[in-house]
Amino acid sequence: MPIPIRLSVLLLTAALSATTHAQTTAPAATQPTLLPSLKPDPTPAPNAGEWHKASTTHRQATFPQTTDDGRYWFQLSAPNAKSVQVGIGNRRYAYEKDASGTWNAFIPYQGPGVKYVTVYVDGVPMPEPGTDIFYSNGWKAALESPAPGEDYYATKDVPHGDVREHWFKSTVTGTYRRMFIYTPPGYDDTTIRYPVLYLQHGAGEMEQEWTHSGLANFILDNLLAEKKAVPMIVVMNNGFANRPGEPPAGARGPGGARGPANPSQVTAFEEMLIKDVIPDIDSHFRTLADRDHRAMAGLSMGGGQTFNIGLRHLDTFSYLGMFSAPLGNINTLPEPLNDAAAFNQRVHAFWFSAGTTGSDLTIHNNARAFVDKATQAGIHATFFESPDTQHEWQTWRRSLHAFVPLLFKQ
């Protein structure tokens, strides 16, 4: 049965943002284009023929339905509504109401990966009520759209690692904090020690989203099954931290914007990572506790953290991966890169990536320019691009899939 709209609006509208992905920058005051939905004739029956429940449709809902080629069918019971729209990215599609008061919209394929979805009932925004929610600057409904030829993050019949929820007490923040830890297949049945990748989310996410939205655990499982990667532990931390008495990290200023971090400032997160997190992981997990077996990577804000923290702590990390990372001033190489021979000896991978379109285009161009400049100075730096994706999870899934095989093979 379709989920009643009134209860969903009351419970969800006040708490949940209706914007698209937090890190996608949209032009100010630009109104999304309202498009008509597709019009199959006659309207198909649910769970019949080519239509079936989407993988992200929760168990108590029948809709959204989808097709193998990525079209979506949204349905909503709102007999008293005057208009219903669904927003995906910067586009909105119109529903049509049938004689029973049920609204239907048929949406064309939206491209690969995670797509955040907002329903507007008489202009009031809410997450699509039949869809699972993910965290992106607040909880949002999200669809998984098919990616032809990209099955590296699929759940396959291979050995699977575990994702553990691990709590620790931070001496820097004075609070208990949560990490998600991926341990590879076979971890509990052996005395082998493992290298560690510290993997950070962006400003719009939190510590669970690398496995929830990014499917990092399945990416690792599949790479290991294909023998394209070394078994490793992956540590995923919340990238926002503040010392007692400091303003909350990541708080928004006027207009909802976050101020840019000072890259020269030793943040509470950096101090916590070095003083609390790494020692905790080394004491509770079977790690190879030296710099040659320790990597750091991250997306967007997490990529910026990797760039700044990693270069300040080359005694701690020997692999650095920056996915869609804001780099700041790209005209001057940071001090650790002044001695190319010494840097290349210590850093086994200095790796940058970005999508080629939309909200990642400027980041893409800056990262490529920085890598070109570093390469001219003799630094071994690599740039990877994700074709036709922007500041989104498909870019970062591709980045992780390309970066992990480089790790810990020195």
What CATH number does residue 23 fall under? 2.60.40.10
- Structural domain includes residue 151: no
Q: Who's near 371: CB < 8 A, 6+ residues apart?
A: 352, 381, 382, 383
Q: What is the dihedral of CA 311, 24, 76, 107, to 10 degrees?
A: -110
Domain boundary among 116, 145, 174: 145
pLDDT for residue 97: 94
- How do residues 99-154 score in pLDDT, each as one tens digit? 889 999 999 999 999 999 999 999 999 999 999 999 998 899 999 999 999 999 99
- Say whether pLDDT at 17 is over 60: no
- Say whether pLDDT at 22 is over 70: no
State the pLDDT confidence band at 410, using cuts at 50, 70 and 90. confident
- Say whether pLDDT at 14 is over 60: no
Q: Who's near 247: CB < 8 A, 6+ residues apart?
A: none
pLDDT for residue 40: 85
pLDDT for residue 373: 96
- Judgement on whether residues 138 and 211 belong to the same structural domain of the protein: no
- How do residues 295-336 score in pLDDT, each as one tens digit? 999 999 999 999 999 999 999 999 999 999 999 888 889 999
pLDDT for residue 256: 40
- Judgement on whether residues 179 and 140 belong to the same structural domain of the protein: no
Domains: count for the chain: 2
State the pLDDT confidence band at 191, using cuts at 50, 70 and 90. confident
- Judgement on whether residues 114 and 260 belong to the same structural domain of the protein: no
Mean pLDDT of 265-291: 94
- Structural domain includes residue 155: no
What CATH number does residue 244 fall under? 3.40.50.1820
Longest dimension (CA), the chain: 74
pLDDT for residue 32: 72
8 A C-beta contact, residue 214 and residue 394? no
- Judgement on whether residues 140 and 168 belong to the same structural domain of the protein: no
8 A C-beta contact, residue 183 and residue 285? yes
Q: Buried b / exposed e across 264-303, counting CB within 10 Å, b at 16+?
A: eeebbbbbbbbebbbebbbeebebbbebebbbbbbbbbbb
- Structural domain includes residue 211: yes
- Judgement on whether residues 244 and 374 belong to the same structural domain of the protein: yes
pLDDT for residue 90: 85
- Judgement on whether residues 137 and 171 belong to the same structural domain of the protein: no
- How do residues 210-235 score in pLDDT, each as one tens digit? 999 999 999 999 999 999 999 999 99
Residue entry with tokens 């394929």: 109
State the pLDDT confidence band at 31, using cuts at 50, 70 and 90. low
Domain boundary among 97, 116, 145: 145
State the pLDDT confidence band at 23, using cuts at 50, 70 and 90. very low
- Judgement on whether residues 349 and 305 belong to the same structural domain of the protein: yes
Find the DSSP H helices in 168-245.
209-212, 216-225
CA distance 350 to 41: 54
* Strand, coil or helix: 96: strand
Domain that holds residue 376: 162-406
- Structural domain includes residue 150: no
**What number of other Cβ atoms are within 10 A of residue 167's Cβ?**
9
- Say whether pLDDT at 82 is over 50: yes
- Judgement on whether residues 286 and 373 belong to the same structural domain of the protein: yes
- Half-sphere exposure of 152 toward its Cβ, with a 13 Å CA cutoff? 21
- Say whether pLDDT at 173 is over 60: yes
- Structural domain includes residue 152: no
Q: What percent of the chain has pLDDT over 70?
A: 89
- Structural domain includes residue 121: yes
pLDDT for residue 13: 37
Q: Which helix (H) or strand (E) holds 121?
A: strand 113-121
What is the reported pTM? 0.88
Mean pLDDT of 257-273: 70
Mean pLDDT of 151-162: 97
- Judgement on whether residues 274 and 402 belong to the same structural domain of the protein: yes
- Judgement on whether residues 170 and 312 belong to the same structural domain of the protein: yes
- Structural domain includes residue 153: no
- Judgement on whether residues 353 and 394 belong to the same structural domain of the protein: yes
Amino acid (one-letter) located at 356: T
8 A C-beta contact, residue 405 and residue 228? yes
CA distance 177 to 237: 9
- Structural domain includes residue 156: no
- Judgement on whether residues 84 and 229 belong to the same structural domain of the protein: no
Return mean pLDDT, the chain.
89
